Amino acid sequence: MSRPYSLAHLTVMELTPPAMIQAAAQAGYQGCGLRLLPFSPGGTAYLMNDPALMRETLACLRDTGLCIPDVEIIRIQGPLDVRPYLPFFEAGQKLGARHILVTGEDPDLARLTDSFARLCEACQPYGLTADMEFMPWMAANCIQTTRKIIEDAGQDNGGILVDPIHFLRSASTLDDLRQLPAGMIHYAQICDAPAQGPTDTAGLVQASRHARLLPGEGDIPLKDMMRCYAPDLTISIEIPNTRRRSEAGTLAWITQCLEASKRFAGPAGPAST
């Protein structure tokens, strides 16, 4: 069985959504994940306050046949008011997105769990899941902790997002991944990294945003990880590498990313709708 591949926005963050969609279509992807909200104040994000760009993006989707599996990013850093995110949910729905990337950063795990539950409830009417990506420097720092948050939140549209570089750097194991309920994984990411990496937060963040490797170049057990996923699960290719992309050019780099990913996750299939 074949699976759809989506290009994560972090791989080509400075490309506008129409430019990204066109490049992804040319390289052979079935979808793109789009960042609609910035990771930090003043950070790069698109579409939320630009109706003309939204129209152009929707036209590009119609012309290319690509889909938008996921939109980013909601960071739960403390008490969460879901009301300011309603326009974000509406934009995701307009784009046909199915998943929201969420980070769990509030050190009060009981409050984080409650916030995640309310976020799931708020986005569910828009046809969206909320998928918490664990990162080793956050409160949701591994599979086990994140699974507990999701299960305690008790929402059917709550899920866990596994990024291989964070899997490698966290206290997560293949057994933890194998034991996740199938319905808890709505989509997954792919990349590679060396076994020996940074141990401080600044180094972890730098490597994750600028120096990921193509699948097969590092030490992550990607084939074992991919066996844990449904054969038609969407794989988001998140492989930012500033130096190598600059040397190769954007189209060549994202094509290399796709071809390397297929060797570990299986042949590409039609876009999921």
**What average pLDDT is seen over the chain?**
94
Number of structural domains found in the chain: 1
Indicate whether 236 belongs to any domain. Answer: yes
Q: What is the pLDDT of residue 272?
A: 46
The Cα angle at residue 238 between residues 3 and 15, in degrees rounded to 5: 110
Range of the domain at 211: 5-265
**270 in a structural domain:** no
Q: 271 pLDDT exceeds 80?
A: no
pLDDT recorded at residue 183: 92
Question: Is residue 178 a part of any domain in this protein?
Answer: yes
Predicted TM-score (pTM) of the model is: 0.93
pLDDT of residue 273 exceeding 80, the answer is no
pLDDT at 15: 96
Q: Is residue 133 part of a domain?
A: yes
Reported as a pLDDT band with limits 50, 70 and 90, residue 268 is low
Q: What is the pLDDT of residues 201-214, one digit of tens each?
A: 888 888 888 889 99
What pLDDT shows up at residue 122?
98
Q: What is the rounded distance in angstroms from the CA atom of residue 218 to the CA atom of residue 200?
A: 20
Mean pLDDT, rounded, for 105-117 = 98
Mean pLDDT of 194-200: 85
Smallest Cα–Cα separation from 193: which of 221, 173, 172, 174? Answer: 221
Q: 86-95 and 51-64 helices cross at what angle (nearest 10)?
A: 30
User: Does some domain include residue 273?
Assistant: no
Give all strands (DSSP E) within the chain, no chain letters.
5-7, 31-32, 34-35, 70-76, 99-104, 129-133, 158-161, 188-190, 235-237
Q: Is 272 inside any structural domain?
A: no
**Residue percentage of the chain with pLDDT more than 70:** 97
Name the pLDDT band for 162 (thresholds 50, 70, 90): very high
CATH number of the domain that residue 65 is part of: 3.20.20.150
Residues 6+ apart with CB under 8 A from 231: 1, 2, 3, 266
Kindly state the average pLDDT of the residues 215-239: 95
Q: In what order do the strands lie in the sheet with 129-133?
A: 34-35, 70-76, 99-104, 129-133, 158-161
Nearest residue to 215 (alpha-carbon basis) of 197, 239, 234: 239
pLDDT on residue 205: 82
Residue 271 lies in a domain: no
Residue 174 resides in a domain = yes
**For tokens 């060396």, what's the residue?**
194
Query: Higher pLDDT residue, 22 or 201?
Result: 22
Please say if the pLDDT value at position 26 is more than 90: yes
Q: What is the DSSP string of 9-32?
A: GGGGTTS-HHHHHHHHHHHT-SEE
Which of 49-53, 201-205, 253-257 shows the lowest per-residue confidence on average (mean pLDDT)? 201-205
Helix, strand, or coil here: 190? strand
How far apart (Å, rounded) are the C-alpha atoms in residues 170 and 137? 9
Residue 252 has pLDDT above 90, yes or no: yes
